[in-house]
Chain A
Amino acid sequence: MSDVVLETKDLVKHFPITRGIVFQKKIGAVRAVDGVTLQLHRGETLGVVGESGCGKSTLAKLLVGLEKPTSGSIVVRGTDIARLKGNEMRRARRHIQMVLQDPYTSLNPRMTVGDIIGEPYEIHPEVAPRGERRRRVQELLDLVGLNPDHINRYPHQFSGGQRQRIGIARALALRPEIIVCDEPVSALDVSIQAQVMNLLENLQNELGLSYIFIAHDLSVVRHISDRVAVMYLGKVVEIGDDAQIYEKPTHPYTQALLSAVPVPDPTLRGQRDEIVLEGDVPSPANPPSGCRFRTRCWKAQEICAEKEPLLVERERSAHPSACHFAEVRDVVHAVE
Chain B
Amino acid sequence: MTTDIKTEIDFLPETDSSAALLEVRDLHVEFRTRDGVAHAVNGARFRLQSGQTLAILGESGCGKSVTAQAIMGILDTPPGFVTKGEVLYRGVDLLKLSEDERRRVRANKIAMIFQDALSALNPVFTVGFQLGEVFRKHLGMSRADAKKRAIELLDMVRIPAAAQRVNNYPHQFSGGMRQRVMIAMALALDPEVLIADEPTTALDVTVQAQIMKLLAELQAERNMGLILITHDMGVVADVADWISVMYAGRVVEEAPVHDIYARPAHPYTKALLESIPRLDLKGQQLNVIKGLPPNLTAIPSGCAFHPRCRYARDACRVDPPPPLYETGSGTTAACHFWKEVRGGE
Residues of A within 8 A of B (CB): 51-52, 159, 161, 189-195, 197-198, 216, 218-220, 222-224, 242-243, 246, 256-269, 276-277, 279-281, 332-333
- Give 6 A-B pairs besides A276-B206, A280-B177 with Cβ atoms closer than 8 angstroms: A194-B288, A218-B279, A219-B234, A261-B234, A263-B237, A276-B210
Q: A189-B293, A276-B213 are in contact. Are A51 and B277 (CB under 8 A)?
A: no
- Interface readout for B243-280 with A: 1 if CB under 8 Å, 0 if not? 00000000000000110011000000001110111111
Which residues of A are found within 8 Å of B60, using beta-carbon distances? Answer: 189
Give per-residue flags for B223-235: 1 if the beta carbon is below 8 A from chain A beta carbons, else 0. 0000000011111
What is the CB-to-nearest-CB distance from B308 to chain A, in angstroms, rounded to a whole number? 8
Q: Determine if A266 and B257 form an interchain contact, defined as CB atoms under 8 angstroms apart.
A: yes
Report whether A264 and B292 are in contact in the complex, using a CB–CB cutoff of 8 Å.
Answer: no
* Contact partner, A263, options B240, B257, B272, B278, Cβ 8 Å: B278
Q: Judging by beta carbons under 8 Å apart, are A189 and B59 in contact?
A: yes
B220 proximity list for chain A (CB < 8 A):
none
Asked if B209 CB lies within 8 Å of chain A CBs, one says yes
B237 touches A216 (CB 8 A): no
The interface centre, meaning the residue of A198, A223, A276, A333 with most chain B CB atoms within 10 A of its CB, is: A223
Inter-subunit contact A264/B233 (CB<8 Å): yes
Residues of chain B within 8 A of A193, CB atoms compared: 275-276
Sampled A-B contacts (11; CB under 8 Å): A51-B206, A52-B204, A193-B275, A193-B276, A194-B289, A220-B277, A222-B279, A257-B205, A261-B234, A263-B234, A277-B210
Which chain A residues lie closer than 8 Å to B98 at the CB level?
Answer: none
Complex contact A190–B237 (CB within 8 A): no
Contact of B280 among A263, A266, A276 (CB under 8 A): A263
Q: Which of A198, A222, A262 has the largest number of chain B CB atoms within 10 A?
A: A262
Chain B residues within 8 Å of A191, by CB? 59, 271-272, 275, 288-289, 293
Q: Which residue of A lies closest to B243 (CB)?
A: A266
Q: Is the CB of B237 within 8 A of A223?
A: no
* A269 proximity list for chain B (CB < 8 A): 237-238
Are A265 and B293 closer than 8 Å at their CB atoms?
no
Report whether A194 and B292 are in contact in the complex, using a CB–CB cutoff of 8 Å.
Answer: no
Cα–Cα distance between A21 and B160 once the two chains are bound (Å): 36
**Contact at A216–B205, with CB atoms within 8 Å?**
yes
Assess the B176–A280 pair: CB atoms within 8 A: yes
Counting chain A CB atoms within 10 Å of each CB, the highest count among B160, B174, B237 belongs to: B237
Question: Of B207, B262, B272, B278, which one neighbours A219 at CB under 8 angstroms?
Answer: B278
Give A198 to B286 CA distance when docked, in angstroms: 7
A163–B271 alpha-carbon span in the complex (Å): 23
A-chain residues with CB within 8 Å of residue B288 when the two chains form the complex: 191, 194-195, 198
- Contact check, A260 vs B277: say whether CB atoms are below 8 A apart: no
Q: For B258, what are the chain A residues with a Cβ–Cβ distance below 8 Å?
A: 266-267
CB distance from A328 to the nearest CB of B (A): 16
Q: Which residues of A contact B272 (CB under 8 A)?
A: 190-191
A223 touches B277 (CB 8 A): yes
Q: Which residues of B contact A280 (CB under 8 A)?
A: 174, 176-177
Q: How far does the Cβ of A162 sit from chain B's closest Cβ, in whole Å? A: 9
Cβ–Cβ < 8 Å partners of B137 in chain A: none
Tell whether A264 pairs with B205 under 8 Å between CB atoms, given A189-B59, A191-B272.
Answer: no
Contacts of B234 in A (CB 8 A): 219, 261-264
CB–CB A333/B280 < 8 A: yes
Which of A51, A159, A261 is within 8 Å of B279, CB to CB? A261
CB-nearest residue of chain B to A218 = B279
Contacts of A161 in B (CB 8 A): 292
Q: A219 to B237, alpha carbons, bound, how many Å? A: 15
| Bound-complex Cα distance A159 to B59 (A) | 15
